[in-house]
Structures are given as C-alpha cells and as structure tokens.
C-alpha cells in the first residue's frame, strides 16, 4: 500500500474527513470529528511509513504479541492505540482490517444523532 492508496481507502469510508491539527506532517483522518487514523507524511517519504490506529485494549495486547510491526501507539494512549508499521510482518489486507476496526470503534462511540447525520449525508 502506498500513501495514495491509504488516503483513498480512508476517505472512502462514510463521513471521513482529513486534517492536519498538530502540524503539517501528521495527516489525521476523522469521522464525526474524532480521530481514527494518523500517519506521518515524512515517514512515508523516508520509506518507514506507519499508522496510529484505535483498537480494543485486549485485542491491542494480542496484536502486539503476535506481530513485530504492531507497537503501543506513538504519542497516544498506549491502551487504546497501536502504531502499525508498513513493510514489516503485517500485510496490507490486515492493515485494512485494522483501519476498519479503528473506524468502527470511533463511529460507534459517536452519538446516535451524529451517526445518523453521517449515514444520511452519504445516501
């Protein structure tokens, strides 16, 4: 997966917007105003891309034990976020599953009103 594919994949999800709230390097994807995916553009340029993704705390621990490319979230809550390295032992398919899970967790945490607004705007 390259940065363009990641960008298109994240933006294909309902209600997703892109932001640079921290600096001009950190691309953040949000749904309903809440972050579900972050990545450093400089790291993509250097050939060491990674994503910060939200996850279920118990599952996060399992993934860290199973994959070398999954670590506690860089600059994030180590309980709820993982950093996932590309070009390691995590396939693009699995990274997409992790993105889906992060998106779903954040979407489900939104109020019903915001969820419905997102769903209505996409139809």
Q: What does the block give as tokens for 78?
A: 């180590």
pLDDT tens digits, 9-33 = 999 999 999 999 999 999 999 999 9
What does pLDDT average to over the chain? 95
pLDDT score recorded for residue 123: 58
We find that the CATH architecture of domain 3-116 is: Alpha-Beta Complex (3.90)
pLDDT tens digits, 89-110 = 999 999 999 999 999 999 999 9
DSSP state of 22: S
Judge whether 19 and 28 are in contact, CB under 8 Å: yes
pLDDT score recorded for residue 65: 96
Domain extents for the chain? 3-116
Distance CA 20, CA 31 (A): 14
Local structure of 40: helix, strand or coil: strand
């Amino acid at each position: 997966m390259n940065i363009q594919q990641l960008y298109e994949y994240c933006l294909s999800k309902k209600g997703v917007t892109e932001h640079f709230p921290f600096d001009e390097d950190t691309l953040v994807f949000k749904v309903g105003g809440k972050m579900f995916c972050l990545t450093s553009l400089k790291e993509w340029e250097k050939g060491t891309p990674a994503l910060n993704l939200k996850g279920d705390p118990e599952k996060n621990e399992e993934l860290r034990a199973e994959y070398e490319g999954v670590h506690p979230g860089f600059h994030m809550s180590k309980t709820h976020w993982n950093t996932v390295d590309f070009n390691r032992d995590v396939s693009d398919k699995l990274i997409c599953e992790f993105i889906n899970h992060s998106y779903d967790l954040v979407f489900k945490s939104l109020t019903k009103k915001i969820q419905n607004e997102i769903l209505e705007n996409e139809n």
